[in-house]
Amino acid sequence: MFVSGGAADEGGDGEILRIPWFSVGLIFAKIYTMDYFKGRIAALATMHGKEKVIAPVLKEIGVNVIVPERLNTDAFGTFTRDIDRAGNQLEAARTKAHTALALTGLDLAIASEGSFGVDPQIPFIQSNLELVLLIDTKNNLEIRGHHRSTETNMNGSYVSTIEEACELAEKWGFPNHAVIVRKNERSKRHIYKDIVTHADLEQRVMKLLKRLFTRKVYIETDMRAHRNPTRMQNITKATEDLIKNIKSLCPECSTPGFVVVDVKRDIPCNLCGRLTDRPNMLVYKCLKCDFSQDSPIVDSPASVDAGECEYCNP
């Protein structure tokens, strides 16, 4: 009843009625979201300055953010691979959020977790997937925001001279983006982080190169949020996605977090008529009352070319 889609069903002599109902829906959506969150304090599980970008966005739903002091998020995994991540991206974010809840005694927590890898849509291109998770134990809610971007400087290479190290680092956005120098790609020892000046970079590379039997050292981009402005931008966008999902209310029970959980693929091949892999519907579902609603994907064709058909073009 409170989504814009409902307003279109109000029938007949349309335009004059539709606009007020639509507006009323939006106002209610705002009030309900505010009811859930306004004036509450969320514990943000970070030690890498993510509050700088997450806190301002959360203000939009009236939530204030605190960062628990004794939280060591590195214990749950590091990008430098010296500590392996506990579980997948979502599980790691959940663990961080629950730790922040336990440390603070609060009933609202935010955690974020990034991952890097080849983009699923574009082969050979690196991408960054950021997840921002909200856990609300008072209302028993878990809502996520995502942002995938090919905007990432993630990289690493062996170098044998200081000049080579500087040249690569600058190509990757140094010193605005930090770099890490290490003995080799896999070693869990001799890892130098927080390199943000040329003097420091030169000194670290030289020190490792001076070691006996060492001809090359490994230099890589620092992917920790506070050392990587590009990643911070992606975390901002994931937080905005979280807010969008929080503001999406279930039409049945008005609980925040009415989000896409699946797609339907009902578009036939124009030659053999069998259903193809092309999605044409988004399936929204309420995680509280299980109410679900399909929403057509804009501009979906009535049929697709046989070239996209698994049977006609295997």
Minimum distance from residue 309 beta carbon to Zn ion (Å): 3
Q: Give the residue among 133, 136, 196 at the shortest CA–CA distance from 170.
A: 196
Residue with tokens 């990587």: 228
What is the spatial distance between Cα 12 and Cα 277, in angstroms, rounded to a whole number?
Answer: 37
Smallest distance, Å, CB 277 to Zn ion? 11
Least separation, in Å, of the C-beta of 152 and Zn ion?
36
Closest approach, Cβ 267 to Zn ion, in A, equals 11
At closest approach, how far in Å is the CB of 294 from Zn ion?
15
Our CB check for Zn ion shows the closer of 282 and 306 to be 306
Q: Which is nearer to Zn ion, 67 or 287 (CB)?
A: 287
Task: Write the CA distances from 54 to 1, 49, 152, 300, 308, integer angstroms.
Answer: 31, 9, 19, 35, 41
The tokens for 227 are 């050392």
| CB 301, min distance to Zn ion, A | 14
- Cα–Cα distance measured from residue 222 to residue 175, given in angstroms and rounded to the nearest whole number: 11
Give the nearer residue to Zn ion in terms of CB position, either 117 or 307.
307
With vertex at residue 29, the alpha carbon angle to CA 24 and CA 31, rounded to the nearest 5 degrees, is: 95
Angle subtended at Cα 80 by Cα 69 and Cα 232, rounded to the nearest 5 degrees: 60
CB of 306 to Zn ion, least distance (A): 5
Judged by beta carbon, residue 185 or residue 294, the one nearer Zn ion is: 294
Tokens 């046989």 belong to: 306
Residues 45 and 225: their CA atoms lie apart, in Å, by 13
- DSSP three-state, residue 266: coil
Q: Which amino acid is at 282?
A: L
Q: Nearest-CA neighbor of 252 among 281, 284, 282? A: 284
CB of 273 to Zn ion, least distance (A): 7
Of 103 and 306, nearer to Zn ion (C-beta) is 306
Q: Output the CA–CA distances (angstroms, integers) from residue 47 to 43, 126, 137, in the order listed.
A: 12, 25, 22
- Chain residues binding Zn ion by CB under 5 A are 250, 252-253, 255, 269, 271-272, 286, 288-289, 291, 306, 309, 311-312
Separation between Cα atoms, residue 37 and residue 135, nearest integer Å? 12
Minimum CB distance to Zn ion smaller for 86 or for 311: 311
- Compute CA 155 distance to the chain's CA centroid, rounded to the nearest angstrom: 20
118 vs 261 by CB, closer to Zn ion: 261
d(CA 17, CA 11): 9
